[in-house]
């Protein structure tokens, strides 16, 4: 408490702070109005919590599914849908791929066909989930909101992402080797 009081401008302000803390007035016991809080913001937070609960339940189910491979327990899984036969992606930064990003209901959020990507500019679940792929391989990634966009996004908050990705090429010069 004294540490907080030390941030006051002078001794008089420190004394007033400590006095108010030890002997609060009736009005100081009322909950302060939150600046910037709105009903819409609280509804958004409720939606985020519902989406997160649904994602957690889905990833609990995925953790028991023998048809998927685990990369990060209860946060990142993948299923190989086409085995690649060429060089493997291990640490390269720049890759050429096609991908479709869907929400948990199958709605397409974003798609790109045959484009070069810098993996450092993608969400961590995507960048980690494509590691180990071979050129020509197709995977479906299941990315928990903690490794995707979380609550701070223009997408529905705290949704899991399902990404169907096809690795087309690897920029060998971007691996730093």
> Could you read off the pLDDT of 115-162 as tens digits, one per residue?
999 999 999 999 999 999 999 999 999 999 999 998 878 888 999 999
Q: What is the CA radius of gyration of the chain?
A: 24
Q: What is the pLDDT of residues 15-71, one digit of tens each?
A: 877 777 777 777 666 665 556 667 777 888 889 999 999 999 999 999 999 999 999
pLDDT at 2: 66
What pLDDT does residue 142 have? Answer: 98
Global pTM? Answer: 0.75
Q: What is the pLDDT of residue 53?
A: 95
Answer for the pair 98, 127: CB distance below 8 angstroms, yes or no: no
pLDDT at position 10 is 82
For residue 176, is pLDDT > 80?
A: no
Q: And the tokens for 7? A: 């941030």
What b/e readout covers 25-40, taking b as 16+ CB neighbours within 10 angstroms? eeeeeeeeeeeeeeee
C-alpha to C-alpha distance for 151 and 156, rounded to whole angstroms: 8
Q: In the structure encoding, which two tokens stand for residue 29, read together?
A: 């016991």
Q: What is the pLDDT of residues 78-127, one digit of tens each?
A: 999 999 887 888 888 899 999 999 999 999 999 999 999 999 999 999 99
28 in Cβ contact with 122 (< 8 Å): no
Q: What is the pLDDT of residue 167?
A: 95
For residues 152 and 158, give the distance between their C-alpha atoms in angstroms, rounded to a whole number: 8
């Amino acid at each position: 408490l004294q540490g907080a009081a030390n941030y006051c401008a002078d001794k008089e302000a420190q004394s007033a702070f400590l006095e108010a803390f030890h002997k609060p007035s009736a009005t100081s016991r009322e909950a302060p109005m939150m600046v910037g809080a709105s009903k819409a913001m609280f509804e958004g937070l409720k939606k985020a919590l519902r989406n997160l609960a649904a994602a957690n339940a889905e990833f609990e189910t995925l953790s028991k599914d023998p048809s998927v491979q685990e990369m990060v327990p209860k946060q990142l899984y993948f299923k190989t849908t086409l085995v690649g036969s060429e060089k493997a992606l291990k640490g390269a930064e720049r890759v050429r791929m096609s991908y479709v990003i869907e929400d948990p209901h199958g709605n397409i959020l974003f798609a790109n066909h045959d484009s070069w990507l810098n993996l450092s500019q993608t969400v961590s679940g995507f960048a980690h989930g494509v590691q180990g792929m071979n050129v020509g391989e197709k995977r479906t990634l299941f990315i928990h909101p903690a490794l995707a966009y979380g609550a701070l996004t223009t997408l529905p908050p705290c949704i899991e992402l399902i990404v169907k990705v096809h690795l087309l090429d690897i920029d060998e010069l971007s691996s730093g080797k």
